[in-house]
Structure 1
């Protein structure tokens, strides 16, 4: 039998909605720059800017805001009006202030899991924003540990799981194939994909279909049953 000592969960778009606010803000960004670039071209240039800037700004809304400003300067050849920059900043501030909306079944599932397993939250992004969202979610007391990291790569997971008994007995569940599934599997843990529907292009990866520690579930509510199946196998 397999004994899972640590159950780790992603936050954004696994516990609460997140990506849809980026999509809405990006649509507004396209409206603001409609006289300078077609929406498809603007989206490609913004994505390229985000890819370049991850190493500078990390993940999260503030980096997204700065990438939008950089893209606006590029597509207007430095002539972007000040009021457009102001609206981009305001849109980012709205995102940072948006109330948390839990995904269906999350509260019950997290409470159920916490009664049986040691739960750890592993999320990346801006520290203040992630702390705010966790506090508003009402889920914080269910987690034995909260890890807000700069990157979710195999090295990060190995370091985090070492604090909780090691990767061998750890399972990570989340909506990002690259960050929440492939990376923890490479660190020696289980990786469970919980699709959300909206996906950031920089988080895409091929599912490790043939790996014995890869699983996919429809919603987080299915996780307790999956854990029981794994532990009884």
Structure 2
């Protein structure tokens, strides 16, 4: 029996990575005289990965690596106007409207009456902005904005909500963050892939009976019903 359902936010409930990739394209165009697009993208990813512990996840943790990458790729010759443009790109992302993904409203309506918890990670202010703009906050019993998604952080969320791990299901677009830590805890993890997922969130799918995959969030209510029936 599933007592509570956790849902990821970015690229599970609404579009997110699309705007990162669009911004990355503009960033690459800004530095086109210094390197080709693939080299710029690879260098930026390396800088992001190296700074995760310092900056965390989210747009601000993307803006600073863009600045660092630009300085490194130009050997410090990039001018202040270009740095200003990079900051504008990040600020535009922070003001971007929230676009719900297909099937989200219908899935949440079908799950009405269930204990739903929104579990996301990243910059606190930006995540709070998107949650408010989404119009979905009232659908959830609780909202958890984490610095990272690890077995330990999920365990703290479940402890606060008095939920047994084996009766918890987490659904999201990241195998690394939404599935593997929850399966490790003893819960169910549901992978709902998005066309664009940040490379740092990639991981191999486990061969485990509590790891599931859906083509879209619209299949989540039926999966929950099947798991309930199997335990009946």
The bucket for the TM-score relative to the shorter chain is: over 0.9
Unaligned runs of 5+ in 1: none
1:68 to 66, 69, 72: 66
Partner of 1:126: 123
Q: How far 1:51 moved relative to its partner?
A: 0.4
Q: Is 1:104 equivalent to 2:102 in the alignment?
A: yes
User: For residues 46 and 189 of structure 2, what CA distance do their matches in structure 1 show?
Assistant: 28
1:68-217 alignment to 2 at 5 Å?
A: 68-113=66-111, 115-164=112-161, 165-208=163-206, 210-217=207-214
2:24 to 23, 26, 29: 26
Most deviating of 46-55 and 157-166 = 157-166
Q: Deviations over 1:147-186 (max 9, x none)?
A: 0000101111111112221211100000001001111111
User: For residues 35 and 186 of structure 2, what CA distance do their matches in structure 1 show?
Assistant: 45
Q: Deviations over 1:20-63 (max 9, x none)?
A: 00000000000000011111111111001000111001000011
Partner of 1:43: 41
Aligned residues: 229
Q: Extract structure 1 runs of 4+ deviating beyond 2 A.
A: none
Q: Is 1:231 equivalent to 2:209 in the alignment?
A: no
**What is the root-mean-square deviation in Å for CA atoms of aligned residues?**
0.8
